[in-house]
Structure 1
Amino acid sequence: MAGMSLNIAGKLGRAAMHSNLTPIVSILIFLIGLVALSVTPREENPQIDVPAANVIVQMQGASPEEVQNLIVRPMEMVLREMTGVDHTFGTAMDSLGVVTVMFKVGEDKEASLVKLYDRIMHNLNRIPSGASQPLIKPMDVDDVPVSVITLSSNDMDGLALKRLAERVREQLAPLKGVSVADIIGGRNHEIRVELDPTRLAAYQITLDQLRAVFKAANAGGPMGVLVGGNRVTKVWLEGYLQSASDVGMLIVGDSQGKPIYLRDVADVTDGPSEIDQLHRIGFGPAANVAMTGEAETPAVSIELSKKRGTNAVVVTSLIREKLESLKGDFIPDNVRVDITRDSGERADAAVNMLVEHLGIAIATVILILLLFLGWREAAIVTLNIPLILFVVLAIGLFADQTINRITLFALILALGLLVDDAIVVIENIHRHLHQGVKTLGDKAKLIITATNETGKPTIIATIAVILAFIPMAFVTGMMGPYMGPIPFNAPLAMAASLIIAYAFTPWIALRWMPCKVVEPTMEEKDQLPKDWVHRTYMRIAVPLIEKPLVRRIFWLIVLVLFVGAMLQPGWQFIRPAGINGPMTPGTVELKMLPKGNQNTFNITLDLAEGSTLEDTDQLAREIGDVLRQHPMVLDYETFAGRAGPIDFNGMLRGAALFREAPHLGEIRVNLLDKHLRSIRSAEIVLQIRDMLEPVIQANPKVSIKLVEDPPGPPVRATLLAEIYGPDYDTQRKIAGQVRDVFSSTYDVTDVDDSVGEDQHQFNVRIDKEKASRLGISTRQVEGALRDFLGGYNFGNVHMAQERHAVHLHVQLPKRLRAQVQDLNRIHVSSANGPVPLSVIATVEQSVAAKPVLSKDGHPVVYVTAEPKQGSQVYSLLEMDWQLDGSEVQPGTQLKTGGMRFTDTAPQDTFGYHMLWDGEMRLTLDVFRDLGAAFIVALVLIYLLMVGYYGQFILPMLVMAPTALTMIGIFPGHWITGQPFTATSMIGMIALAGIVVRNSTLLIDFILDYRKQGHDVKTAVLEAGAVRARPILLTALAVIAGTSIMISDPVFGGLGVSMAFGTLAATILTLFITPLMYYLWQRNKLDTAEPCPTSNS
């Protein structure tokens, strides 16, 4: 032994075994790991950084077509010249153009925005005259609120509630980690001047005169100083308007020598602003709230975002503590306080639950170790587990990783694998110590010998598993950072398990394991008649080796199982009944990601443009009446006239820009906590959708969508068709045809498009000749119409006690700007006095121009929908079959595309082209990347095996059983009722490493037996029988560790793939790998050829 050459494992074990640093380092790992577990930021899902910004340009009076041609198209062209840009999205509306630029995932946010600003500034010459300078508004995921606090009361009006919310915000905004703090709902304080057009006309007073009066009367401030008597004294002009009384007493003209005050021609009030949005809160049966009076209570919400890099759990905890201290004295008892969003608490609960699951998985693995190993050996292996996990968490802390669901799933995934290295080492030490030693020095030599023997094959097998994970780090798009913790943490855990197994295990074995082990080793147990594993293996393996008929039957069974398993996901595509429709019994559904189990979902309301705020509010109340009937509803917040607090899903779906309009509404529904209910949120949404069906049927022109938080990266819509072509009006007509196909397709709901309903408008046409004779300019008419109808802030009224500026708002009363006849009340200044608008203009009714949308410079019309409960793959393929080649107008056919693994450019120069986007594009990209990762992993593993064995055919035998995992994966999904998803495929990739690991250990033992002089038959049988127990032990550890994931709605597919794939592959590998080696050797032409040798 003294002259034995030590490999890297032996050298590491010898150095660590005799070092006093080994226990110190182990203790440090424990301490640093505990610190990392407590201080590493927690979040529910990994943060996906997608640099993006809106570039906004105004061009007063320009039609959507003008804006598209003069602003949006040139800007998209300029922005797409930048490197790192993924897509640009244009919106051209009346007088306004917006281009949203989305950079590629992973691009530096600050650098991207600087590059964008620089590009815009260098191309200002392309902006036409009359257009505003571009306004750049970044879209930052850190601006998404982590906490939303809702204050509600029946005893306060909107103004009082908002004032209270402002005071509460002042207390919460300075908290450490809080970034943006905004208020939604309520009404502002203002001085309202509601003009009476009749009285203005009677007194011959015009808006131009009022504007001049306001400007002249509202002035003041420091005027200078007086110097005298050895003193400098300030002079202050008290000229500012300070109350509604001051405003009402302004003299705006005279009549027969008497002054005309503003109060004579207008109603001047001090109070809340005009209602332009409504916000209420309602409670469902799950809240157990005793309601008095109205079913819904007026509310104001405070939304709070966190600073970048801070821990959401800590920030929201500080907010909750501060809020609790404000109740009673600061916040009156008649105001109810509800935290309607708490991302930190949700993240903490999700992480804590998975930490518990990780603990359960560890306990299960320990129990298996105790059953198969002695208690000392099991205890040593068990001590490896926290050391490995703490190493991973510590490195993750220094690498700016967060603890999230994906991180913990990666650790659970690796749990069954990371104990294998320690098992191999401790088992070999156990076998050597059974010989018995007299001195501690002899014991140390035996431990080093045992450690050295297992070094090379274990290292190679572990590297093979690591190579299976690493290619997943190169998944592109938003799915890359979402799944990123898996290729970061799983290989890291495997590498840590290898180092700790060869450093820590020999050290503790020297001091803890006895010098002579009475119990026989695994291999000796295998030789005893009572060993059922050995007997069972031999009963199956011997006939396979000796009897060709049995062998043929075995191959046939394997083939049937494999083909049957592959048909489970494939039958839906080839069945006579068609691809879409209910799943055939026994088949497996294909899906990107299944719906998660959330505590909240959204209902978005999009009425026809031109609908009033009252219409939107009434619809929201009707939906609220339905929500209060469902037993799982905790509370809901309605927003009429605007959307609710933005979330990450809404921001990347494009809902962050146009969020305020009378016809828009949103209802955020919070459900009973998922741990307190027996049904998933997806089922609740289905039930509520059915309950809302009468409301939906009664409002056929209203888009009512039930939007669930996606389990993975968000998309604009699950089913999204993009229609391109040379004529935009025809594209809109095609969208109607596509929408009809969507609506008639099985399992498709929430169908919508970007065309919208026709909206009528009144065009004021000026007789310029007549206006010119009267000395009236078009600009005067424009100002009068805008100020009378839209209102205008003529400065501020100075009230020192107010926290916000109190605007002096001048406008016609709402009752006098409701009908087209009211336009006749408007007068315009002329040289001869006020002139009614009807004298110089006529009013005509027309249909308002609709927005023009574009993507990457191509005009586009969108049609969107959501699957009701199944996978979008089948309904999309059926719709594609119906639409591809369909006649959209005489002599013109629609071509469809976007179903390839690479992006398809629209072919819209001469024809009409429809591309599929949404979740289908994400699905194709992810499965393309994961499929490529799987192939790369197999190639890397093969190259590793070629280098290890020094030949080409033997590595193929080692890797051949990889396909056997399918025999377990797809039936496992069918048994558990899980769809095959992207996470399932990750499990399939990981299984490649596990299968190769098992095959490598089997082949190594076969080669060792051959070197000892055994014939091929004996070698393969004995190697399989001897390695059956430890291989099964590792398989049980993997199954036990990953089975805990099966119940998760999103990562259940990963758990199913790992558990059932490992079970099938392990059992079959134990027989197929030795059998293939035996057949390969038997069929060699030159039987005298020296047997291959291992480098181990």
Structure 2
Amino acid sequence: MQEGISGKIAHFFINSKLTILLMIGLMIIGVYSSFLIPREEEPQINVPMADVLVGYPGANPTEVENRVVKPLEKIISNIKGVEHVHSMAMNGQAVMVIQFYVGEDTERSYVKLYDELMKHENMFPQGVYKPVVKTRSIDDVPMLGLTLWSEHYDDYDLRQIAEELTSEIEKVKDVSITKVIGGRNRQLKVSLDKDKMAGNGIDALEIMQMIQANNSSSQSGSFVNNDTEYLITTGRFLETKEDVENLVVGVNNNMPVYLKQVASIQDGPSSAKTYVSFGFGQANESFKNFNSDYPAVTISISKVKGADAMKISEKILTHVDKLKQTLIPTDVHVDVTRNYGETASDKVGELLLHLGVAILAVTILVMLAMGWRGGLVVFFSVPLTFALTLFAYYMLGYTLNRITLFALVFVVGIVVDDSIIIAENMHRHFKMKRLPFKQAAIYAINEVGNPTILATFTVIAAILPMAFVSGMMGPYMSPMPIGASIAMILSLFVALTVTPYLGYHLLQEKEGQAHKEDESLETSRIYKFYKKIEQPFLDNPKKRNVMLVITLVLLIGSVLMFFTKSVAVKMLPFDNKNEFQVVIDMPEGTTLERTAVVTQEIAQYLTTIPEVVDYQNYIGASAPITFNGLVRHYDLRGGSNMADIQVNLLHKEHRDLQSHDIAKLVRPNIQKIAKKYHANVKIVEVPPGPPVLSTLVAEIYGPNYDEQIKVAKQVKAILENTVDVVDADWMVEDNQIEYRLEVDKEKAMLNGIAPQQVVGNLTYLLKEYPIANLYDETSNDNVSIVLALDDKDKTS
């Protein structure tokens, strides 16, 4: 007998003591790798994406489009590797989203983008700010959210506590970006009295310049005296409210004018730009005792690339528990409103359980066919294959997520084939007793080895093309075909090395062991059952033709189900998540308070849903973004007319309804509330796969903007009236009433006032821009100094 490659490999390992060491070593490597591989919710996706933000104060959208957006689009679209450039021109600014092709090198893509922007920096007209580039990646999505709320503290106090807590959280290793959402910052507000300023001949710009001029300090050098060098520091920063009050901001009748004479200075919370609140749902035990909204502040925490979300979240929560005894007051509650580390661990645990059940089921089936010895061969072979696969995952830089683990579950029935084929053929030859056991084993392996190798690579050839799917779905799903292919190659390796050893020592009958006379194939129950079904079709051509016709009809009928829409077609099934978001858009010009009324009414409705555990209202601010929100740029949402509600549900094991069913259930009633207030409200679920801008997107192109809007309205109306289409929206802002104040330049100059002074005064007073910082070493946050008018003066 001439040995093939499979026979030669088996001959080396079949009775070698090294095989035992190999098995032990592989298991140790696999188990060790399972602890080293980071666990996270979603797979890493290499799709470079960046935002380019350009400010052009005072310019209208048309001016911004012509002077900034169009030139930049031309430059950026010529960068090699750029796939899409989406732009939006607004009053005073432009936002551009640049997406590179899937698989482009992330670092090089960003360098190319920066390089092109810097090379053409001088092309912008005067008044345009330097472009700001913000890169985006999957790791920007917060994996942990902590919400601080209290029935005794207001949002200002909670913000101060949250800032201190954030400083402590940032000390935990592998914590990347932290963000505090909600609450009012500490601020030194200088409320100017316009009458007193006029009486002393002072304007807001002069006061701003005097505050900035008195808020500087510098290391001015040194001098030597008596053989000693002394350092010199010149000036002093503003450190207290009293320092600001006693500033001399002008001179009137040869007398100094102090700031406190023309303004009132308040050291305290800033004006409310956002409202964040926390509430419980019926599914929470605390609902009976805390059945209202409470002021809240949320800390969102992201991790560095490749870090284990589960381990980091555990470290952070342990650290926070310790701080509850010192930093966090007893009447301030800290609720975990997001923990992707925990959900990732649950996913991994669930898939590992399914993997174990699948291995056990296969082992039992083999035991029924080949006895307990044959079952043991498979039972040892499959875990070794997966141990090697985990090591391969670790070496390739993969993480343990639902896609990589799904690949293992997917190939359980395939990777076991190689070992079963080898073991079954050895078992058959051992029972034939035509050759000595070792020769019979090698002969059996050599007989089926080459077909097994061919079959393995045939299956790989069928699965691997999935790795080359275009778009974002490609890198998202690529760990599955790659992981499955690796598992099958490694299963072949195990089948040709370990399985022969196990089969040789477990399947052969011991000398002197009593055994029954071999049962022929024709007398087995399986053969008799199969023959009873199949024999009539083999003997009777008429029955055979009927069976073929029925098979063909069923095949055609199954294909037609797609065209008749009897079966819904989609890329991935809905995932049963523990959360969803309610995104609220009010008409432009809506006040923060009005938006809060709508948000709270929707939130109160959500408390009636039995599956809701808790919710957080983010009014004027965006909730911590999800993977979906990263692509849709929900983090840029902000303004008095916008709000988000983050809704957390019971764990899926404790509820009957899927999260998608709950979203469908609440949508009609939420839309009724929204319609009453002329709001556009969307129920946003976390998608089961890579996110998209929306399920259905229509882009309108035309010769001019007015025609585009006209057609867009028609398309929007069609979509709204289409069956099963919900939450239709468009990227067009409503018209908002605007007062345009034009300076009479002649009168202004006759009175010694430059038009720029009028523009500057109104801008700084109405927008309340920070003009300087108060240098308070005890504060974790910047304490800004702002100029403002009293509210009554703003409307007079």
Instruction: Indicate the TM-score class for this superposition, using the shorter chain for normalisation.
Output: over 0.9
Of stretches 141-150 and 106-115 in structure 1, the one that deviates more from structure 2 is 141-150
Letter in 2 for 1:708: E
1-structure distance, mates of 2:761, 2:767 = 10
1-structure distance, mates of 2:753, 2:326 = 59
Gap change, CA 1:456 and 1:801, over 3 Å in 2? closer
* 1:512 aligned onto 2:506: yes
CA deviation after TM superposition for structure 1 residue 57, in Å: 2.0
CA deviation after TM superposition for structure 1 residue 569, in Å: 2.1
Query: Who is 1:449 aligned against?
Result: 443
CA deviation after TM superposition for structure 1 residue 705, in Å: 0.9
CA deviation after TM superposition for structure 1 residue 303, in Å: 1.5
Task: Note the alpha carbon deviations across 1:297-322, whole angstroms, 9 max, x for none.
Answer: 11112221111121111111111111
3-state SS of paired residue (1:710)? coil
Q: Contact 2:437–2:508 (CA<8 Å) still a contact in 1?
A: no
CA deviation after TM superposition for structure 1 residue 101, in Å: 0.8
Q: Contact 1:436–1:515 (CA<8 Å) still a contact in 2?
A: no
CA deviation after TM superposition for structure 1 residue 442, in Å: 2.2
Match of 1:624 among 599, 603, 614: 603
* 1:762 aligned onto 2:739: yes
Query: Who is 1:494 aligned against?
Result: 488
CA deviation after TM superposition for structure 1 residue 32, in Å: 0.7
1-structure distance, mates of 2:275, 2:55 = 28
* 1:815 aligned onto 2:787: no
* 1:801 aligned onto 2:778: yes
Match of 1:471 among 457, 465, 469: 465
Alignment of 1:139-158 (within 5 A): 139-158=136-155
Gap change, CA 1:168 and 1:548, over 3 Å in 2? same
Match of 2:676 among 686, 694, 698: 698
Query: Who is 1:714 aligned against?
Result: 691
3-state SS of paired residue (2:698)? strand
CA deviation after TM superposition for structure 1 residue 227, in Å: 4.6
2-structure distance, mates of 1:433, 1:48 = 50
1-structure distance, mates of 2:710, 2:777 = 57
Query: Who is 1:126 aligned against?
Result: 123
How high is the sequence identity, in percent, across the aligned residues? Answer: 37
CA deviation after TM superposition for structure 1 residue 432, in Å: 1.5
Query: Who is 1:351 aligned against?
Result: 348
Query: Who is 2:30 aligned against?
Result: 33
1-structure distance, mates of 2:286, 2:622 = 26
Query: Who is 1:88 aligned against?
Result: 85
Gap change, CA 1:218 and 1:449, over 3 Å in 2? closer
Query: Who is 2:525 aligned against?
Result: 532
CA deviation after TM superposition for structure 1 residue 423, in Å: 1.8
Letter in 2 for 1:142: D
Task: Note the alpha carbon deviations across 1:316-353, whole angstroms, 9 max, x for none.
Answer: 11111111111122211111011111111110111101
Query: Who is 1:545 aligned against?
Result: 538
2-structure distance, mates of 1:460, 1:212 = 81
Match of 2:646 among 665, 668, 680: 668
Task: Note the alpha carbon deviations across 1:1028-1076, whole angstroms, 9 max, x for none.
Answer: xxxxxxxxxxxxxxxxxxxxxxxxxxxxxxxxxxxxxxxxxxxxxxxxx
Task: Note the alpha carbon deviations across 1:118-146, whole angstroms, 9 max, x for none.
Answer: 12222234323332222222123222211
Gap change, CA 1:224 and 1:386, over 3 Å in 2? closer
Query: Who is 1:57 aligned against?
Result: 54
Query: Who is 1:378 aligned against?
Result: 375
Gap change, CA 1:69 and 1:219, over 3 Å in 2? closer
CA deviation after TM superposition for structure 1 residue 234, in Å: 4.8
Gap change, CA 1:564 and 1:754, over 3 Å in 2? same
Query: Who is 1:836 aligned against?
Result: none
Match of 2:184 among 184, 187, 202: 187
3-state SS of paired residue (2:581)? strand
Gap change, CA 1:512 and 1:725, over 3 Å in 2? same
2-structure distance, mates of 1:239, 1:557 = 93
* 1:640 aligned onto 2:630: no
3-state SS of paired residue (1:114)? helix
Q: Contact 1:654–1:716 (CA<8 Å) still a contact in 2?
A: no
* 1:557 aligned onto 2:550: yes
Letter in 2 for 1:613: L
Gap change, CA 1:217 and 1:45, over 3 Å in 2? closer
Gap change, CA 1:447 and 1:788, over 3 Å in 2? same
Query: Who is 1:244 aligned against?
Result: 241
Q: TM-score, structure 2 length as denominator?
A: 0.95
3-state SS of paired residue (1:696)? helix
Structure 1 segments unaligned to the other structure (5+ residues) = 573-586, 823-1096
Letter in 2 for 1:773: L
2-structure distance, mates of 1:554, 1:126 = 75
CA deviation after TM superposition for structure 1 residue 800, in Å: 2.7
Match of 1:771 among 748, 755, 759: 748
Query: Who is 1:879 aligned against?
Result: none
CA deviation after TM superposition for structure 1 residue 193, in Å: 0.8
* 1:733 aligned onto 2:733: no
CA deviation after TM superposition for structure 1 residue 291, in Å: 6.0
CA deviation after TM superposition for structure 1 residue 420, in Å: 1.7
Query: Who is 1:1061 aligned against?
Result: none
Query: Who is 1:162 aligned against?
Result: 159
Alignment of 1:957-1036 (within 5 A): none
Q: TM-score, structure 1 length as denominator?
A: 0.70
3-state SS of paired residue (1:329)? coil
3-state SS of paired residue (2:487)? helix
1-structure distance, mates of 2:517, 2:398 = 45
2-structure distance, mates of 1:570, 1:206 = 73
Query: Who is 2:416 aligned against?
Result: 419
2-structure distance, mates of 1:156, 1:769 = 53
Aligned residues: 793
Q: Contact 1:165–1:302 (CA<8 Å) still a contact in 2?
A: yes
Q: Contact 2:64–2:91 (CA<8 Å) still a contact in 1?
A: yes
Of stretches 176-185 and 131-140 in structure 1, the one that deviates more from structure 2 is 131-140
Query: Who is 1:688 aligned against?
Result: 666
3-state SS of paired residue (1:289)? helix
CA deviation after TM superposition for structure 1 residue 487, in Å: 1.2
Gap change, CA 1:315 and 1:590, over 3 Å in 2? same
Letter in 2 for 1:527: E
Alignment of 1:882-921 (within 5 A): none
1-structure distance, mates of 2:91, 2:773 = 30
Letter in 2 for 1:526: L
Q: RMSD over aligned Cα, in angstroms? A: 2.1
2-structure distance, mates of 1:418, 1:219 = 71
1-structure distance, mates of 2:516, 2:274 = 79
Letter in 2 for 1:555: L
Letter in 1 for 2:297: V
Query: Who is 2:562 aligned against?
Result: 569
Match of 2:275 among 275, 278, 284: 278
Q: Contact 2:623–2:645 (CA<8 Å) still a contact in 1?
A: yes
Letter in 1 for 2:392: I
Query: Who is 1:998 aligned against?
Result: none
1-structure distance, mates of 2:381, 2:233 = 78
2-structure distance, mates of 1:612, 1:792 = 20
Gap change, CA 1:68 and 1:209, over 3 Å in 2? closer
Q: Contact 1:9–1:502 (CA<8 Å) still a contact in 2?
A: yes
Of stretches 592-601 and 257-266 in structure 1, the one that deviates more from structure 2 is 257-266
Task: Note the alpha carbon deviations across 1:764-823, whole angstroms, 9 max, x for none.
Answer: 122223323333322112111102211233322332322233222111123332x3xx3x
2-structure distance, mates of 1:519, 1:469 = 44
Q: Contact 1:434–1:518 (CA<8 Å) still a contact in 2?
A: no
Structure 2 segments unaligned to the other structure (5+ residues) = none
Q: Contact 1:42–1:348 (CA<8 Å) still a contact in 2?
A: yes
Letter in 1 for 2:688: P
Query: Who is 1:581 aligned against?
Result: none
Query: Who is 2:106 aligned against?
Result: 109
CA deviation after TM superposition for structure 1 residue 45, in Å: 2.5
2-structure distance, mates of 1:459, 1:213 = 83
